[in-house]
Amino acid sequence: MRFSGELSTKARRTRSRFQNRLAHNLRDGFATERVQATLRPEWSRFYIDGVDRGFLGPLTRTFGVSSCSILAGECEAELDVIVKVGTELFAEAVRGRSYAVRARRSGSHGFSSSDIHVRLGAALNPGATVDLGDPDVTVFVEVRDGRAFFYEDSVRGPSGLPLGVQGQALALISGGFDSPVAAWMALRRGIRLDYVFCNLGGRAYERMVAEVTKIVADRWSYGTRPRLHVLEFGPVVEAMRSRAKPAYLQVVLKRMMYRAAAEIGTRIGAEALVTGESVGQVSSQTLRNLRAIENASSLPVLRPLLGFHKEEIIERAREIGTYELSSRVREYCDIVPQRPVTASSPAAAEAQEAAVGLEELAAAISGATVHDVRGLRPESMAGASLYVTDVPQGAAILDTRPREAFESWHWPGATRHDLLALERDFGGLDRGTTYILCCAEGVRTAYLAEVMQRAGYEAYSFLGGAPRMRRAMPGSPHGSSDRDAF
Q: Catalogue the active-site residues.
A: 439
The C-alpha R_g of the chain, in whole angstroms, comes to 29
Q: How far is CA 331 from CA 175, 199, 328, 337, in A?
A: 9, 11, 9, 14
Pairing of strands 147-151, 73-76: antiparallel
Distance CA 341, CA 203 (A): 30
Distance CA 329, CA 174 (A): 9
What is the amino acid identity at position 244?
Answer: A
Distance CA 182, CA 316 (A): 10
Question: What's the angle, vertex CA 206, arms to CA 428 and CA 162, rounded to 5?
Answer: 115
CA neighbor of 158 nearest in space, from 177, 185, 140: 185
Distance CA 233, CA 190 (A): 30
Torsions phi, psi for 178 (to 5 deg): -70, -55
Question: What's the angle, vertex CA 214, arms to CA 210 and CA 218, rounded to 5?
Answer: 170
First to last CA, the chain: 53
